[in-house]
Structure 1
């Protein structure tokens, strides 16, 4: 009788995980093993600072039949700090794969993995996963759209001073500093905005090459994707200045923001493109976090669209 087990990730299962991914994803099926490893490497090697670490060294789980990998459930574990200073544990499911014969275990595995942390954030659900996680596991919307801006006149009357962070020592906010240090190794950039009242806002983003939103347009563009905003109101108040600074200095065609970062409806009255893309969250513990972001998730770590 075969022995079916769910075990924590271990490097000894890596070759089996790569084979499992190649069996279950068309995009991986034609790739060399080394290229598949490069894809998942950030997801099985990440290491965060003590304040933001949770289940350090655990990168997910494998489903085994007699020690052979028949399923892989990648997870990013970290902690988030609320405005009140309280920390919450978070799990972000990443790349999952399971052979057809063993999909009867998927509900059991998902239920076990999703009940561990205070919060589960799925930043990259497929439509099928979105429906299942909402209906069966009680997930709710985190962000509904990806919004792209290509050009914008600087209509903000308020003056501000914007600089790109060249060194972590330039960051005066301790929490922003720690988040930056955890994510900069994955290609995350940061700018500091100082307004007329000498208040500061930090915006973190990465640079990616992405397809245009038009379904039949295969062109790829270079864009800046916003991952984190330390002061939502200030970001919205100075949006056009921030946009033009990033576009000019990063030499990108567009800036992309999730709808959760946009609170000022006047911004959406300017020329932009929208694409429906729902990111979701689930609370296992009552939580007082008001503003979420995409740092520490698969989107930041893999730095790929």
Structure 2
């Protein structure tokens, strides 16, 4: 049976969605699995778009081009971030197209894949591109809600996720607002700002601090851009000290974004926790967190240290 390009496109979309549902139910699957299961994609893009996989002279460009308008293949964040910066800038953001990018295995969760596959700068690179919305969901509840919201929104979105199941932080049915922080805990002495994978350790650090009589507010800033300037400035005024905790390079990451807001609104002592200015390496997640100073204990010590700098 001969199908038109339009019919193939519709058919391929159904296959991709079914594949994504299957991998989600299994809580696993290799990134790109939704693409490899849909052999019809080879027909669609070989015929309709003339992309030749045997001659990958422009593999970075073609990966992004093929992604436009799809439900969204997921790739390693190293490839979604580093390899296609110019294509995201020109072919997606500057062209004002409707694109969803999903980068997984973020930061230290790349673990034994090592430094080549450890994206510790992807959000920083994307943060420099105009009109790209950056989101690092905290758990599956948040991801599901944000996916429902963004399906009806137009623009370029970059979602940063892990590959494996994460701790559930939010109750089923919780809703979120893109560009607004989620308040996880009230506090008056210091504010801990985090997102994504680092959220459970940050919450545990707040509990530990409470045991020592230190009241820590916890803000989950899952939207890195546009960032919630109001929530950051309010936390700075009301607690007078801030610690950022991120699974990313601190040179270009969440801590840097928070520092920019503080500099413009309410300068207070700030301590940034995350991957320092260095390459990743092979190791277990616990080993890497210890190596980079990203453990629960490191967060507690940073909070105590920044408190000594309050006026």
User: TM-score with structure 2 length normalisation?
Assistant: 0.28
Compute the TM-score of the two structures, normalised by the length of structure 1. Answer: 0.29
Which gives a bigger RCO, structure 1 or 2 (Cα 8 Å, sep 6+)? Answer: 1
The answer to which structure has the higher strand fraction is 1
Q: Which has the higher helix share?
A: 2
